[in-house]
Every structure is written in structure tokens, then in C-alpha cells.
Amino acid sequence: MRVLIVEDNRDICENIAAYLEKHNYVMDFAYDGISAMHLALSNPFDVIVLDLMLPRMDGLSFCQKLRADAEVDTPVLMLTARDTLDDKLKGFEVGADDYLVKPFALQELHARLQALYKRSHGKTANLLTVGDLTMNKSTLQVHRSGQLIDLTPAGIRLLQRLMEAAPAVVARDDLETLLWADERPDGDALRSHMYKLRQAIDRPFDSPLIHTVHRIGYRMAEGVQ
């Protein structure tokens, strides 16, 4: 997930970065409203974490311009020390999607970011999305960069499991159980199925989405080597 953190307190930014990096977030930082607007309009972020009290342009003005003028619908999580109902209502009025009051637990920030991401990408409905790859769970159609991808039944089952868990690692045992339950074949049949899946999902495109976690399993994510 790619997140823009708009916060003028460098210590808070460092704490957020140290925590979210462990969960494989890709982060950009802006320390004032004007710089944040430039980044938000020139990059495809999944979620924006926005402090209210900012130099050059405050958070409310930023959010209002982002929605009304730029027509950008990236989810916005407002992060602020203001905890009155009136302050929260003002945030929602200008287009904020969620509100987290300082001081906050980093675990809660992570959970709220995940919820906003899933909601905006349709992950809780029928559409699974990882980067430019989508799977419709109703039709089982898979597209990457707009191209329809033909998969075997086993490939579809593996891909759905990986996309539902993304960006977390799915253990080899879990994937083998998914395909064969308690009657697993001899040899490394899973490796063969994963090779075929990668040939379809990753090989024709510029960047891989399926990644091997040595001796553990597989995961799906953007920008991971």
C-alpha cells in the first residue's frame, strides 16, 4: 500500500515510518499543505494521512481543495489533537473518510489504513485488487493492466488466496491444503503450480507481484524485491 503522510512533526513521521515499514508500506512524506498537494496530485496514493495543523495550508483547506477543486477521491485519514465533535464534523464535511485523535496507537493507525484501503479497492466486496491486478470473485475473471488473463482452476484458487491475504505471507502448507486437502501429491507440485501462475501473472508485465518468501511461502505485493 502506498501512503502519503502529511505531518509537520518530524518525530511523529519517524515513528509512523518505523512501524509501517514493518508492514511493507511505501510512504511519502510532506511537512506542509502546499507540498502535500503537489504530491497528492502527481502520485497515485492509496490513502492520505493528514494532520490538521499544518504550515502554508491547513488540513481542512487541503482536504477541501483535494475534493472540490482537484476531484481526487483518495481516502483521507485525518490525524489531529482536536477531539471535539465539532472539529470532527468539519473534517467529514470537507471530505475526510476517517478521523484519528492524537495521541494514538500505531496499531490502530495501521488497522484504520487497512480498512480504508480495503473499502476503496473493493476488497471487502467482489473485487480483489493488488496493484494493477484485479480478480472478480463472482465471475473469477482476472485482469492485469486491462488485459484478461486465462488461468487454470488451481491457479485461480491460489491467486484468490494470495490476493485476499495481500500483502501478508501465505504459508506453503496453507496453499497445499487449499489445493489437495490431506491428500497431497508426491514431489513439489505446488512449485509447479506457482511457476505457471507467475508465467501468467508476472512474466508479460514490467514488475512482479508474486514473491517467494524463502522456506515459508508466497506473498503478493507491489514494489517488493
- The full DSSP string for 118-180 is HHHTTTTTTEEEETTEEEETTT--EEETTEEE---HHHHHHHHHHHHHTTS-EEHHHHHHHHH
pLDDT in tens, 201-213: 999 998 999 999 9
Residue 78 lies in a domain: yes
> 147 and 61 in one domain?
no
In what order do the strands lie in the sheet containing 147-149?
127-130, 133-136, 142-144, 147-149
| Residue pLDDT, tens place only, 67-100 | 988 888 899 999 888 777 887 888 899 999 999 9
Output the average pLDDT for the chain: 90
In this predicted structure, the answer to whether residue 121 has a pLDDT above a threshold of 50 is: yes
pLDDT surpasses 80 at 36: yes
Residue 40 has pLDDT above 80, yes or no: yes
Our measurement of the distance from residue 116's CA atom to the centroid of its chain's CA atoms, rounded to an integer in Å, reads 9
Choosing from 60, 91, 120, the residue where a domain stops is 120
User: Do 96 and 26 sit in the same domain of this protein?
Assistant: yes
d(CA 190, CA 41): 42
Of the candidates 199, 98, 218, which has an alpha carbon nearest to the alpha carbon of residue 161? Answer: 218
Confidence (pLDDT) at 129:
87
Find out whether 209 and 220 touch, Cβ atoms under 8 Å.
Answer: yes
**Within-domain flag for 225:** no
Q: Determine how β-strand 76-80 pairs with β-strand 47-51.
A: parallel
- In this predicted structure, the answer to whether residue 184 has a pLDDT above a threshold of 80 is no
What mean pLDDT comes out for the span 47-75?
93
Cell numbers placing 129: 485488487
For 159-171, what is the mean pLDDT?
92
Which percentage of the chain shows pLDDT scores above 90? 62
CA angle 128, 133, 138 (to 5 degrees): 40
Give the 3-state secondary structure of residue 15.
Answer: helix
Look at residue 125 in the predicted model and tell me its pLDDT.
Answer: 57
DSSP code at position 185: P
Give the pLDDT of residue 124.
46
Closest CA to 54 of 20, 13, 84: 13
pLDDT confidence band for 23 (50 / 70 / 90)? confident
Instruction: Inform me whether the pLDDT recorded for 122 exceeds 80.
Output: no
Q: Could you report the per-residue pLDDT of 98-109, keeping only the tens digit for each?
A: 999 999 999 999
Strands 133-136, 127-130: parallel, antiparallel or unpaired by DSSP? antiparallel
CATH of the domain at 60: 3.40.50.2300
pLDDT band at residue 11 under the 50/70/90 scheme: very high
Domain ends where: 92, 120, 148? 120
Domain encompassing residue 72: 2-120
